[in-house]
Every structure is written in C-alpha cells, then in structure tokens.
Structure 1
C-alpha cells in the first residue's frame, strides 16, 4: 500500500471503458484509456466482458478531500456507456454524476467524455460503476478519498488498508441473460457466483486459481474498505475467528462498534478495522446473500483467504460463522447499532424542522405483456407509478427547458392508502407509467418515508439518492404509524448514508436538506427492481445566491 502522504501525488489510471487521472498539488493532468471487451477467466471458462483498463474489478480511484479529479472516458465497447461516481455529491455539477438519461446521455461507442469532479467535504470509501443497463455487473471499482493533509482518522491508525469489493459473476453475457428474462416476462437467471475482488474462491468448481488472498502479520491492524457492488443481493460478510470493528459507512465516520459479521446492501460501503490477533493460520473471509422474503434464496458463498505471514498454502482455512440467509433478527440488530460519530469535527447536522413530508410506497406488480411468453411482465412502482426512462437527459431537459420530457407532478403520497404489509395483494392498484418527478425548493428540508408493500410479495429495497447524503432517522417493521413512530426518531446521531435498506415488510424514514440544485436520481439499488421501474428523481430548484445555481454543461456533454 502506498503511503497516505503520497496519494495526492500519485498517477491514477482508470478505465478500459477509458478513465484516468493524475492528481498533484500543482496541477491536474489527463491521460486517455479505454472501455473494451476483454476475456476474463472465472469458474470453468473464459468469456469476453466489458472492463475498465482490462481489469475486473476496475482500478481504484485515489484522491484526497479537496482534490479536483478529471476522468476521461472513451468507449470502445459495443454498448453505450456512462459512469456514476456513487456517493460523490457533485455540488451544482450533476453533469458529472453519470446515470444515463438522467444527468447525461450515454457515451456512444467510439466517443469520449470527461467527468470533472471536485471532492468537497467528503472523505472515506465510495465507489464508481456503470449506470446503464446491467453493465455494472463487471464495470465497477472503489473510490478512496483520504482526509486532508495532517488530518488523522478519528480511530486508531491502521498498519495497512485493503479494498474488499463484493460482487457477482455470470457465466453468460449479463445483457443477454436480461433479454431472455424480458422475453419470458420473468426475472433473469441468478448470477453463477458471488465474488470477492472479482474471484469466487475455492468453494466453487474450477476456481482453484481464482481466490483472493490477503496476507497479514500478527499484532497488526488492518482497515478493510468493503464495497457491495453486487447487482441484486444484500450480503453478510465475516472473517473466521476475527471480529470486525465498524468505523465508517458510505464515507461517513460512525461510532465504532464490534461485530462478528456485517450486513451490506448493494451500493453501500463499510470500513472495518481487523486486528490480526489470532493463532497464525489461514482463515476464510466469506460473503453470502441475505434474503428474508418468501423468494428463492441465492445461497452461493464467495470466499477469500486471510493468511498470516509464514503460513504455508497447504493449511486448510477455517470457515466463519455467517448469519443464516434469512436471519432478520441479526439484520435489524446490526443496522440499529449504526450511529453517526457526531463529534465537534464531524457533526451530525440532522434537520430538526421539516418543510416537506413525503411518503413513498414501493411495490411489485404484474402488467399485461402480449409479446411475453407468459403473457405478463413483472413491474415495480413508487406510489403506484412505474418510471419510464426518457430518451433525453433529464438534467439537460430541465436546464434548457425542453418541454415534453418529464412532468413535476410526482405525488407526495400514494393515491390509495391500504394495509401495506398485510396478506399479498395480486392487483397493481392502478399502476401507471410515466416520467414524473418531484420538484423541491432549494435549501428546504425533506423527510421521506419509504414503505415496503406486499403487492405480490414483501421484499427489502436498498434505495440510493444521488447528489446527497441523508440521515436515517427511523426504521421499523410493518406499516409506518404517523402518530407514533416519529416520536421514536433518532434526531441526535442517526446514521448518515447515501444508500439505505428498507426492511422487508417495513419502512425507513430519511431526512436531508435540498441544498444541491439539479436533477437527482433516486432508485432501488437492486438492478432487477430499478429495471422494472422502481425509481424516480427530484428536481431541486436553483437558489437565489450566485453559487446556488446549476453550473453550465461542459462542451463535451454527450448527445442522445
């Protein structure tokens, strides 16, 4: 690992889509790299996949709080492409956020686009990924933002840092898998394996050479930067014989607590400290899906090895005790322990007065589909609205006042109140299609309650809000009670995140201040659900100040 003081001087190469940057104290310089198809061998055979700089996962972007990062992406793959910088706030600069047809048109094959990013007021672990179709299955990597010079971590300094990226692997072209599912009107096939740093580990056939190994020295402390890049699975993660001390989530410091396992939803990041204080040996790191809904469980376990220095590879690793795949009690207990650090240096500025109360119901449904083999197609909705992707970037349409692209009449509440989490309902309750957004006044405070429903089935939904962090002030199982539940909100040190899991058959309440003008996507980070329409966007109006308006678009903004 490079020394922390060297990060702001390092040449950082990024993208076989094509990405890069060189960050020094004196200047920002740019180099060109490309997005391409590359053969990558996993499990029992090789196949061509879309990669960044020929790497799977892609390279880590290192920066420091206050840096300006330029990433030049050139697309040589056969798919249109865009890259989202997940968790970066992109103040006034949605043009660099990346979701296709939301803040930009995608980068067409043979074309380039420069993401110009200023990292302000953030430090910690985030990540980047493709934000079009299901291509983030292979196009993703970590973002590591170091604190400002001479600013220590608010926890014991680790001896070394390592990135742990949890993901999925398909033996077939994931886009073809999706097309086959759409033809049937059914969910696509599950992944063939879970992965740790792109490798499934020795619990799979034909995978002897595809195991990530992390060597450690006894009595040293390691900071693991863990990212869940999986498309469709919340994951448990543990290391046999070793405790994990959680110190950060979604690039926000937390009150430290120790646990034998963590739960991490797609889109989330978690930093943990691990002490190499056990008998020198080989220990499995393992990740397995959490699913407490009455659905098929993807119980494939990915494994990597934590190996003490000097221990031969012939020693059989010890397996960790992961929670059961449907261990709801552990999931709720773990999430309840997450608290913002809320120190004088890193305060939790929770909005105490709310200007706008929103209540969104998330549900699954089934629509008629004459072209599907089954005659029906699964769908998803927020407040009974299934989002229709536009053919023009929403931010561009908003900035240039292009009419007919979207409306701003997304309802603050569902059109029909019912017993959201009772016995399964088979109707869609009048689900409609539309590109309907919600307009939010600049600098207003928003409280949003996300409620799971039992339309077809209850299921957990990890929601991600672009352009913002938010405070998770409350969560519960069952229907949100407007007269009782707000009294139990944590308004002192709630966890601050950019992605939150709505529990199966339950609700989550978040608060944020709308101080970042632009068009900001909000969607379920289960790729299956977002592709079915479980998404919307906020149009945050400009403020009156000179620095409270959307910046002009860059000259190389891709066209549709």
Structure 2
C-alpha cells in the first residue's frame, strides 16, 4: 500500500484485550525519497521499544481483574527491547546493549508499548535532542530525560560525544498520585566501540517516581516545528466544543468477588464493548449496536478536582457522538479526583490533533482560552 502525508515513528499492536502487551512493534515511515529530515541526517537509526512484563499469562492477568472487579496486578518488570536488565530476580539478563561509535549521531525511535504506565527515559552522561513525537516534527530541544506515555512515540538524536565508556540506559515509571505502579527500573547499556566489557558502567539516577516538575517541563517544551515545509495548520473555526471529564467509578457486579467493579468513564459514561464493530455497524447501517447520544458535556458539574460526589456509579452504554465530515472539534479533557486523581493517557485513532493548552485544576472557560497557543502547538 502507499502511504501519503505521513512519516515518522508509530506503534502497532494487537487489539484483543491484553494481547497487545506482547504483540506489538514499530512502524517506521521514512521521509519521501529525496526529502531530507529537517535536522542533520543521523549516522544510524535505532528502534527502542519500552514495555511491561508479567510473570503470568497477560490474558490471565486481565481475566483475574475482571473477576475481582479491581485493577489488574501491576507488571513485574519494565523492559527495553524486551530486556528488563540485571534485576535481582533475573541476574543472568544483561539487558539492552546499544553500541555506538564516538563522534557519530544516532536517532533513537523510542516507543512506549506498555499497558498502563508513563515512563521516564534517560542515558547517563548524555543529552537527548527531541525532534519528533507521534510522527510529527517538533522544534528541537535538548533534555536529559524524556517522558513517554503508553502508545506514544518520541524520536531523539543522541550525540556519542565521549571517546570511550559504558553508560547506563534507564526506563522508570512516572506516577504522581497514590496509585500502585511497577517501581522496577529497566536498564540497558550504551557501549562505545573499543570499550572493554569489563569497564565500569557510568550510572545515572532516574527521576523520582512522583517527579511532576520533570514531567511537566518536558511536556511544556514540546512545540510544532511550524516551518515553511512543515507548517502547523491549526484550525481556528470550531464547529463542536466538547468538554469531557475523565474519571473512575464503581458499578454493581454480580459475578465479581466483592459484588462491584471499578470502571473508567468519560462524562460518567462507561463504554460497553459491542459484539459487532462500530464502523461495520455504521457502514452497513446495522441497528442496535450503538446509540449516538454520547453527552458532549458532563451530566453533573461539580468541583472536579475537589470534593467528589458520594455516588460513584456510572452510566453504561455503547454511545457515540456524531460529527459531520470535515468538522473541527475543540475538546477539553478534564481530569477528576473520582476515587483517586491520576494520569489518564488518551489516544485518538485515525486522526492527529493539536494540544493548544494544558493546566492544573479545573478548566476555566473564560480565562484559560486566552492562553491557548494557536501558533506552534504540538501536534500528536
């Protein structure tokens, strides 16, 4: 098939329950022949896939969670290209090993293929120049730590600026809420050519698990390249203005051990998986599969980041919000403190979008839009 209008790094994965924990990989779309990168061409490109690993069958993990009504068990290890590194219960694992030549520049195509956890990634003694996220170019900036959420991709340039040596590569979790995560750091080695294997590895300390300033600084640094060849075409006319609250709830569950199940919801609606594909039902006009009454705003307005309602129940349904072809949508995603405040990585299939603003607390529709970035917002 022919790919048009796209280039960069993307993630592919299985779509049946938790099979995507192990059935996944990289889609590398090279620039059109004759079109250069908007940065110096790297000496070599390397795909780096970050993941999570369980000692159990991943299908058994999610099935047990469905039976219990609680969240799935956290993973037993993080991985870098399938290797956890020399962790205590797997001492024979040497880990991911990236060999480099002094003076050369490498492009790392980093992917978070994990199920749940946002990850920090850093390499001891080296700065990383971020040049692309989710297959869109960004204004290059240097950092010693990147943050990458499940499903996201980040391309960075690594300058092998030392003469010799071995340097620790680390992938560690980010969670700034009282939520259980796998706190084991995956490790690997950046190994300069000519360096003896017995050479001591230069270490680095990952950010603290709750390093919100590090995460926020990275996210705030992302800007579209917005060059003549790669402009940021931000739509300025809005046809639909939607406000989605993201949270958790608790619903009755007759088959669950505790008689209830923790669920996710958007605008207090918990999605029910249909037995027929939504697109199939739409194209073939099959009735009874979904309804088109998904609320564009939360049914109840309250202090979303303050005291939460006592009723934790949600509405259940396979509900969609219809949009006319070529419509422009402004969507505000508002996190809530239902059960516990936490990060909720969200991705949209089949479309790119611009992130024109972000902040803490409750969205203020009168004040916050004044600070929206319509010039060079990051596109994802």
Partner of 1:29: none
Counterpart of 1:302 (choices 186, 192, 203) is: 186
Deviation at 1:296, TM superposition (A): 2.0
- The answer to whether the 8 Å contact 1:293/1:459 transfers is yes
Query: In the alignment, does 2:363 pair up with 1:480?
Result: yes
Query: In the alignment, does 2:164 pair up with 1:317?
Result: no
Partner of 1:441: 324
Counterpart of 2:269 (choices 366, 376, 385) is: 385
- The answer to whether the 8 Å contact 2:238/2:330 transfers is yes
- Aligned ranges 1:69-84 → 2 under 5 Å: none
- The answer to whether the 8 Å contact 2:113/2:151 transfers is yes
The 2-side partners of 1:411 and 1:345 are apart by 39
Query: In the alignment, does 2:336 pair up with 1:453?
Result: yes
Partner of 1:18: none
- Aligned ranges 1:469-548 → 2 under 5 Å: 469-497=352-380
Deviation at 1:321, TM superposition (A): 2.8
Partner of 2:227: 343
Unaligned runs of 5+ in 1: 1-67, 69-117, 498-560
- The answer to whether the 8 Å contact 2:52/2:76 transfers is yes
Partner of 1:375: 259
RMSD across aligned positions (CA): 1.1
**TM-score normalized with structure 1 length:** 0.67
When structure 1 is superposed on structure 2, of 282-291 and 364-373 the one drifting more is: 364-373
The 2-side partners of 1:379 and 1:206 are apart by 34
When structure 1 is superposed on structure 2, of 201-210 and 142-151 the one drifting more is: 201-210
Provide runs of 4+ in structure 1 moved above 3 Å. 423-426
Partner of 1:396: 280
- Aligned ranges 1:86-485 → 2 under 5 Å: 118-428=2-312, 431-485=314-368
Partner of 1:90: none
The 1-side partners of 2:105 and 2:14 are apart by 33
Deviation sequence 1:371-401 (CA, Å, 0-9, x none)? 2222221011111100001001111110011
The 1-side partners of 2:160 and 2:88 are apart by 27
Deviation at 1:210, TM superposition (A): 4.7
- Aligned ranges 1:26-105 → 2 under 5 Å: 68=1
More strand by share: 1
Unaligned runs of 5+ in 2: none
The 2-side partners of 1:283 and 1:119 are apart by 38
Deviation sequence 1:225-277 (CA, Å, 0-9, x none)? 00000001000000000000000000100000000100000010000001111
Partner of 1:503: none
Deviation at 1:181, TM superposition (A): 2.0
